[in-house]
Amino acid sequence: MPIHDQGYRRYGGARTPRGQAWIVIAKAGMRTFLAKKAFLGLLLISWFPFFVRAVQVYAAANFPQARQLLAIKPETFRQFLDQQNIWVFFITVYVGAGLIANDRRANALQLYLSKPLTRAEYVFGKLVILATFLLLVTWVPAILLLILQIMFAGNLTFFKENLFLFPAITLFSFVQALTVSAAMLALSSLSNSSRYVGILYTALIFFTTALGGVLAFALGLQHAEAGTGRPGVSWISPSADLAQIGDAIFRLPLRNDSPLLLSLFIIVLLVVVSGAVLERRVRGVEVVA
């Protein structure tokens, strides 16, 4: 029987349901970073504070003489997340700066968006890459610490007395990851150079913090404290706003002088503006009118 060339044959198997193309983007991005030794090194170092805290939890649970000094309180978890901010910054710059900028430089957006992939799926996939790595250095170690505390204590007393801790760690970590990821993605969509985006992000973080300090000094508000009723200007810095929200979530006194609602408003505004920038900048074809 003669065999004829049947040419190119269409794929007849199952396809991923529509709306899940973001998984492909997210998986590919994560795999790219996990293949880099430098990034794995950064992830490893970012877990160092966790190991220190784990020793603290162990010592507090097992050595009565250390209990006084190293006692585990709800604040301990808030302090741990505060300590992780430096790693959040490094990972945001390392991972986030090139997420869209590199695709823009390679002209890849045009091809991505000529496939069955919506712009929203593309952005969400990219967001998931950065947010996942951020949660890997905030939420995951913080929850592990909580589990370690229960294990080493050998009872659920601390956990039951502080039932709010699990949702507080989860809520704050996710709010932080979403805000930081959205802002970084928006910046990444503004340029073709990941280096420039990294510098821009760094400058924005430090500039807004410094500006808050300068304004406070100029307006004579440098001694304004939370709860005094005096208006402050720390809300100018998104980092300070996130810290403020974190304190509220962990039921701790607010550290900054600006109202909580104002900090919340700034963070929501930042996410909305980032969304608007992404909506405008993530296109297969750049139209310069």
The contact set with other proteins (CB under 8 A) reads: 7-11, 13, 15-18, 20-21, 24, 28, 102, 106-108, 110-118, 283-285, 287-289
**C-beta of residue 247 within 8 angstroms of C-beta of residue 78:** yes
| Sequence-distant (≥ 6) Cβ neighbours of residue 26 within 8 angstroms | 125, 126, 128, 129, 132
How far apart (Å, rounded) are the C-alpha atoms in residues 84 and 143?
13
Q: Please, which residue, 137 or 282, has the CB nearer to other proteins?
A: 282
Closest approach of Cβ 9 to other proteins, in Å? 7
Closest approach of Cβ 288 to other proteins, in Å? 7
Angle in degrees, 0-180, between the axes of helices 48-62 and 74-83, rounded to the nearest 10: 160
Q: Please, which residue, 85 or 110, has the CB nearer to other proteins?
A: 110
Q: For residue 59, count CB atoms less than 10 angstroms from its CB and return exposed for 0-12, middle for 13-18, buried for 19 or more.
A: middle
Closest approach of Cβ 36 to other proteins, in Å? 12
How far apart (Å, rounded) are the C-alpha atoms in residues 244 and 257?
9
Closest approach of Cβ 112 to other proteins, in Å? 7
Q: Please, which residue, 119 or 255, has the CB nearer to other proteins?
A: 119
Q: Please, which residue, 78 or 104, has the CB nearer to other proteins?
A: 104
Q: Please, which residue, 114 or 155, has the CB nearer to other proteins?
A: 114
**C-beta of residue 163 within 8 angstroms of C-beta of residue 57:** no
Closest approach of Cβ 12 to other proteins, in Å? 10
Closest CA to 127 of 30, 222, 192, 245: 30
